[in-house]
Amino acid sequence: MKKQTKIQLSDHFTYARLLRFVFPSIVMMIFTSIYGVVDGLFVSNYVGKTPFAALNLIYPFLMIMGAVGFMFGTGGSAVVSQALGEGKPDKANQYFSMIVYVVIGCGIVLTVIGFLFLRPIAAAFGATGEMLDNCVIYGRIILCAETAFMLQNVFQSFLVTAERPQFGLAVTVASGAANMVLDFVFIAIFQWGIVGAAAATAVSQLIGGFAPLIYFYRPNTSRLRLVKTKTDTRVLLKTCINGSSELMTNISMSLVNILYNFQLIRYVGEDGIAAYGVIMYVSFIFAAIFIGYAIGSAPVVGYHYGAGNHGELKGLFRKSICLITLWNMMLTTAAIITAQPLAQIFVGYDAELTALTRRGFCLYSLSFLITGFNIFASAFFTALGNGVVSAAISFLRTLVFQIAAVLILPLILGLDGIWLSIAAAEFLALLVTVVCFVKYRGQYHYG
């Protein structure tokens, strides 16, 4: 008998099969997170501290714009995967196509809005003089690829649902490699400064967004394809509700980052923004492992829930908790060990800034002991179609608890309180996650 190599959503998932299926999504998210990291690395070392701070200041606003793609991708993949699990492939393709077309329209509208309001928004964030000009230049170039970036976020989820995570990985690797190469060419060789950093990222986002669009538009052997469709308000609303947690997560993280920057300017000035930028870049890569696992496993959860395979759902839940526990401990240890060399790579030209960054990252990394559980919980309930619970976990974790922590802890612990705010917020969110897991285990049959 020929050994099966292709993994399908309907399969029984052992640890090995589950890891094989989610691995492309994890690597895909890591490469996606590298975009900003590479930009920051080159800007910091080749352009200077002020442009580096400007990039970090405007980046949260750009992420808020792109978060719409995450909402439609995660929320839509839950709807589509459940339709596939119920044996309705035609409906799944219609839902998928409608979501993609709506995202393209949203991308165009948000790009225009971004161009019009970018300068006053950057000024409201605290940018002045040279920093304000750098924010506007970087932001407007990135906005040229905003629709492609939103599509890239959408297809990260749908390529898994289509049982083509390897293709998604290939596209992400290609776009990530393009970003790194072009950063070197535009910044180190051509010396285009922050313009080069923005152009390199924009080109990589165009590759990441339009390559999957072409793939799904043409005939293919995956479960999904773009077809003629019509607007289904009910399904669109369900998609938005399901994906609202991911939208809330990205918007909340961006708003909280803005608040962190305000607090850091108050306590240590421009160096604080630069140090926080380094910590954010590195933490994006660490968190990408959990986000990638959530994206990769969510369609599997949605499929088996839609198909009524309760035994498989229980197994997926149990295996996920075990894997995340292991990764939490490994990543926290790795973060503490690598804090000094990572700080040296980004800001080694400034000894005081390097020391500030190292200490901040060591304290911040304590959050990695908990983060994975909360990210998985939000994605898990999204996959089950319970967008309300998912959004509640995300809203409390990324906004309410973090705002409270970053405002209160510095009054008690000073600068260290800012770095520890994320760990405190994740701990409070974990309490909510545990309550939700216990409360709904009977309703969804995963306990």
Query: Which amino acid is present at 435?
Result: V
So what's the pLDDT on residue 187?
93
pLDDT at 49: 79
Please calculate the CA angle 288-94-390 and round it to the nearest 5 degrees: 40
Domain of residue 94 covers 15-444
Residue 217 lies in a domain: yes
Cα dihedral 96, 101, 102, 108 in deg (nearest 10): 150
**Total domains, the chain:** 1
**Taking the chain (447 residues) in consecutive chunks of 10 residues, what is each chunk's mean pLDDT?**
62 89 85 74 85 83 84 87 89 94 95 94 85 93 95 89 86 88 93 93 94 93 91 90 75 82 84 86 87 89 88 93 95 93 88 92 94 93 87 87 94 94 96 95 88
> What whole-number distance in Å separates Cα of residue 113 and Cα of residue 109?
6
Model confidence, pTM: 0.74
224: left (phi over 0), alpha (psi -120 to 50) or beta: beta
Residue 63: CA atoms inside 13 Å, Cβ hemisphere, count?
25
Q: Is residue 342 part of a domain?
A: yes
Integer Cα distance of 393 and 412 in angstroms: 26
Of residues 257, 228, 299, the one with CA closest to residue 85 = 299
Q: How far is CA 233 from the centre of its chain?
A: 27
The pLDDT of residue 266? 85
- How high is the pLDDT of residue 35? 66
Domain assignment of residue 31, yes or no:
yes
Q: Does 2 reside within a domain?
A: no
Q: Report the distance separating Cα 77 and Cα 92, nearest Å.
A: 9
Q: Which two tokens stand for residue 251?
A: 């918007």
Gap between the Cα atoms of 261 and 283, Å rounded: 16
Q: Is 4 within the bounds of a domain?
A: no
pLDDT score of 257 = 82
Is residue 295 a part of any domain in this protein? yes
Whether 7 is in a domain gets the answer no
- In this structure, is residue 356 part of a structural domain? yes
